[in-house]
Amino acid sequence: MKPERLPEASAESRRLDEDAALELVNQVIASEGRFSPEISEWVRAAWREYAAGDGARSLEACFGLQTRPGERSIATRLAEAKRLAAFADAWRAMTDCQGLSDWRRCEILATQLEEFEAAYLPAWRDAGPPAGASRLRRALYQAFTALERPPPRTAKGLHELLTRARELT
């Protein structure tokens, strides 16, 4: 059953989506290795500063991505982005239920997560997915291993996450 209104994004999710420091990182990721002159110079300058200081300043600080007290580190935020991308990939891999509503697909994905965690994750935790693993299971493996904390497991949590990933409108 589809809810009458879509769940609101959490304050933490909105902050992650609106983080100006991640805009440069987003540009680097979107460039697929073809950096603009501005991004290229930014990366070079940050690495030069880091190397010249023999690591006295953190790499995050040299890139201008230093977090303030109480904020998540850039490594954590990038891991969250990796998890978001993994869920988007899992969503696209669910080709056998494309005609269903988004909410129903989220319920099915929640079931897939539960089954994956019980049947596959324990065996794959250290070695990773085998070569013949399906696209869906590889994506679920990435979703589980991107961060220390477990992924959302409810249809509502998955719906919010996939909305942030811009898979749902």
Asked if residue 99 is part of any domain, the answer here is yes
- 3 pLDDT above the threshold of 60: no
Is residue 92 located within the same domain as residue 57? Answer: no
Instruction: Tell me whether residue 4 is in a domain.
Output: no
65 and 110 fall within a common domain: no
How far apart CA 140 and CA 87 sit, in angstroms, is: 7
**Most distant CA pair in the chain: distance in Å?**
59
| pLDDT more than 70, % of the chain | 80
Question: Are 106 and 150 in a shared domain?
Answer: yes
> According to the model, what pLDDT value does residue 1 have?
44
What was the pLDDT predicted at 60?
78
* pLDDT tens-digit map of 108-141: 999 999 999 999 999 998 889 999 999 999 999 9
- The band of 71, judged by pLDDT with boundaries at 50, 70 and 90, is confident
Q: In the Cβ-directed half-sphere of 145, how many Cα atoms lie within 13 Å? A: 17
The closest of 103, 104, 90 to 151, measured between CA atoms, is 90
Q: Which two tokens stand for residue 107?
A: 């319920």
Question: Same domain for 131 and 89?
Answer: yes
Q: Give the residue, 34 or 83, on which the prediction is more confident.
A: 83
Residue 24: pLDDT band (50, 70, 90) is: low
Question: In total, how many domains does the chain have?
Answer: 2
pTM above 0.95, yes or no: no
